[in-house]
Amino acid sequence: MVAVQISAVWRGAPFAALLLLAGLQTISVELYEAADIDGASAWQKFARVTIPSLKSTIGITLMFTTLNAFKSFDLIYGMTKGGPMESTETMMIYAQMHLFTFLRFGYGSASVLVIVLFCLIFAVVYIRGLKLEFSGGATQ
């Protein structure tokens, strides 16, 4: 399981880093200049300018990486096929086994539907909990 986790981090870290880098580039230089004028230390600038400015970017990055972890199938199936003795079996591996190995199509389809509903509920709760604000698009 440790090898699978290391591989998952290796695969997902560049995407998360790219999202955070894009978020860092959207922070206005004037905010840092104003913090310098106010005499803020580097830690204070990080805690009071950078982190609040990256709130929505961090939230979206966490949501994408968490949802990606729920649907992780290819990495685990390619490395271990859920074994040995189901030690690396995830919800998607479980659903695949019931769909294609045991030919229990109804049970496997219901398992996948539960995973999709769980991911949808998680995403909605996560977005509302962080109160993310999205720029662009239509206003309400």
| Pick from 16-25, 37-46, 87-96: least confident | 87-96
Over range 40-44, report the average pLDDT: 94
In this prediction, residue 130 carries a pLDDT of 75
Share of the chain above pLDDT 70, in %: 94
**Whole-angstrom distance, CA of residue 80 vs CA of residue 45:** 45
Q: Average pLDDT, whole number, for the chain? A: 85
- pTM (predicted TM-score): 0.72
**Residue 47 per-residue DSSP state:** I
Residue ranges of the domains in the chain? 2-130
CA distances from 103 to 27, 74, 88, 98, 108 (A): 52, 20, 21, 6, 8
CB atoms within 10 A of CB 65: 16
Query: Cβ distance 49 to 35 under 8 Å?
Result: yes
Per-residue tokens: 101: 């190995």
Q: Is the pLDDT of residue 7 over 80?
A: yes
In this prediction, residue 137 carries a pLDDT of 45
CB atoms within 10 A of CB 82: 20
Q: What is the pLDDT of residues 72-125, one digit of tens each?
A: 787 888 888 777 777 778 888 888 888 888 888 999 999 989 988 988 898 888
- For residue 122, the one-letter residue type is F
In this prediction, residue 42 carries a pLDDT of 93
Domain 2-130 class in CATH: mainly alpha
Q: Is the pLDDT of residue 138 over 70?
A: no
In this prediction, residue 134 carries a pLDDT of 56
**Whole-angstrom distance, CA of residue 63 vs CA of residue 68:** 8
